């Protein structure tokens, strides 16, 4: 008798923290690299913080990429204790990426009232690829170690600003 067992490779997704001192030049590199890894992105608008005219214009420029617009009390990296915020999902394309690069010079620029908050890039599965909590200057990647190695081979300067989060 022959028994054949199929064992799937179990890949472990890890969280990699992006340090707040990330140079602005790497912001564009990350967005460029994300084109092959992310299909949508999220932006958040908190009612209590208002929006500048520039932020309102940005949302209008992104309208043609909009997939979903809803109220939410949580999104990657954040859970509100009270109330909800507007959570908008957009298609991530080279054109929408260009708009994001023109709007901000850093991951941590995504703060109201000047811009919507908490840029988050999602995979086709809906899982987080990169998330930010801008007002806390917190940003992170969610990926397998091999994915991180591949990204760092394309963006070598990023290695000084990313560290694996260890949970115990």
CA dihedral 61, 95, 86, 33 (to 10 degrees): -150
Give the per-residue pLDDT at 168: 52
The pLDDT value recorded for residue 5 is: 45
Domain spans in the chain, listed from the N-terminal domain onward = 14-164
pLDDT at 12: 85
- Rounded Cα distance, 131 and 121, in Å: 6
Closest CA to 114 of 64, 71, 50, 168: 50
In terms of Cα–Cα distance, which of 77, 121, 143 is closest to 162? 143
pTM for this predicted structure: 0.90
Taking only the tens of pLDDT, the chain with its 168 residues reads 444 444 445 568 999 999 999 998 999 999 999 999 999 999 999 988 889 999 999 999 999 999 999 999 999 988 999 999 999 999 999 999 999 999 999 999 999 999 999 999 999 999 999 999 998 999 999 999 999 999 999 999 999 999 998 765
Q: What's residue 3's pLDDT? A: 44
């Amino acid at each position: 008798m022959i028994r054949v067992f199929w064992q799937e490779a179990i890949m472990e997704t890890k969280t990699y923290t992006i340090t707040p001192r990330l140079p602005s030049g790497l912001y564009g590199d990350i967005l460029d690299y994300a084109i092959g890894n992310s299909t949508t992105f999220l932006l958040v608008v908190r009612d209590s913080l208002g929006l500048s005219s520039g932020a309102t214009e940005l949302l209008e420029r992104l309208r043609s990429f909009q997939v979903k617009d809803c109220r939410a009390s949580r999104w990657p990296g954040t859970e509100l204790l009270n109330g909800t915020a507007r959570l908008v999902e957009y298609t991530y394309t080279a054109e929408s990426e260009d708009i994001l690069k023109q709007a901000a010079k850093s991951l941590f620029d995504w703060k109201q009232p000047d811009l919507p908050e908490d840029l988050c890039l999602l995979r086709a599965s809906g899982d987080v690829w990169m998330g930010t909590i801008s007002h806390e200057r917190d940003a992170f990647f969610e990926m397998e170690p091999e994915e991180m190695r591949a990204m760092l081979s394309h963006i070598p300067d990023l290695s000084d600003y990313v560290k694996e989060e260890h949970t115990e």
